[in-house]
Structure 1
Amino acid sequence: MLPEVTVTRYVTPLREGGSLPGLVEADDLRLYVLKFSGAGQGRKTLVAEVICGLLARRLGLRVPGLAQIRLDPVIGLGEPDPEVQGLLKSSGGLNLAMDFLSRAIGFDPLAYEVSAEEAGRVVWFDALINNVDRSWRNPNMLVHGGELCLIDHGASMIWHHNWRGAEASAAKPYDATDHALAPFGPDVAAAAAELAPRVTEELLLECAGEVPDEWLAGEPGFAGPDEVRRAYAATLLTRVQGLDQRITLGAGTEPSKSTGWRQGR
């Protein structure tokens, strides 16, 4: 199970994120980036973060550690920003936390070189989860300790917003021509050979099993959380078949200046 901590102090909003995540301190005296259950994208954003983040880690990609985090809305009483105060008040209970990576900097393709092998693994993984949010305009990658780290997967697995079309979505191609790592010549074939055999039903159910029941309960068309978990696993298992043949690559769009979200300074 994901570790569980409790918010003891709200530090500051991180306004670069679309869902206005917050930097908080928890009862283990560590800093976390908190993704709110009451944000506009709702609990499915948190589900995607958990499944995709854990899957990335199981496949050997670097992502921040994840935790369940309890929030008492009273934490927001002293917050002067009404938007932030509204988020805090609407997100009482269980939320999602990511390790705050101190001194991490936003990925800049003009300053950080990525091998074709690593680029291929990231592109292939993004194709698997149908991540449309890793362009050079918004790379959602950090460089921490000299290593590439993937963040922000809440917009992935778009099919879980319409489960009736999930099977059809699983077979769709993935356009990587605008991917942040396209200019590095991603070796997608090598990535597929290495990673595809590791994406098993057992692994996918293991990752989905870490999602708290309350984020899956009440999903229309499903008898309960375990049935929803099986649907996530089945869709991803279908998508992985022949995935590398459905990825469109190109030279990529060259950025002209530094981009990306800075998680830590």
Structure 2
Amino acid sequence: MTQMSYKKKCLGISALIITSLAAFFLGCLFTKKHDAGKTTIGDDKISNLILNDPNAWINPYSASSPIHREFDEFKTWMLNNRKLATLSDSTNPSHLLRLSGQLQAKGVPRLPTDLLEQRLSSVSKILPSLDTHLCSTLLKGGFSTTEFMVQASSAMESFNDEEAKAWFLVNKAAIEAQLDGLPLVVLSTEDATRGIVEIAKSMYGPQSRAFISGLTGLKTANDEDTCTTVRILYTKGNSLPEPYRGYMARWLLTGKEGNEEL
């Protein structure tokens, strides 16, 4: 396939996916979105975090892991944030948690590229710990933050100090970006296409063709095949040189608001 053919095909693919791309940021540790579109408190392991007494919130990570310490620091930062308290219609900590999750989701497309690249790197490290169904929902939709946090906990406990700090640094930055009303940063379809082309070019011929075929067949692909495509997009995208790594981070993590409207 010629370079021009690749570009034309990838342009169509990027346009197709962007029309249904859901923001996947993983900023909110405590809430999940249901099909009805309402943000509600999660269940299972994560629901233990939503208690009226903030001192009773359970840190789900091993006490010896860096992510455990960063979790506690993020919780303290959130509870002491005056801007959050001003916007909340209640002093109940669970309301602050819900509000922080909503602000994070809205703030993602406002983040600078370097912070999105940090999150892309984190997610790439977590992906192997996800089962194929949850992994596939990163492109197909129906993603559950609650289930993600359960499956990802072991990988996150393996984060070193720098990686653990980066996870919550990005969360804070997204909240602050929304609170401060920073402008949206929108990725053009052309730049998204350039990122996909670079991934395809970085792969051996048959693998490259299989990758493009996987993208074009996402609507009918099973969970296993979709997850394979997801892992390529995140891991290969994370290893690209600039500016393509930034293109892929913004394309994959910011949803419709962060991508050019078609």
Structure with greater strand share of residues: 1
Structure with greater helix share of residues: 2
TM-score by length of 2: 0.26
Relative contact order (C-alpha < 8 Å, sep 6+): which is higher? 2
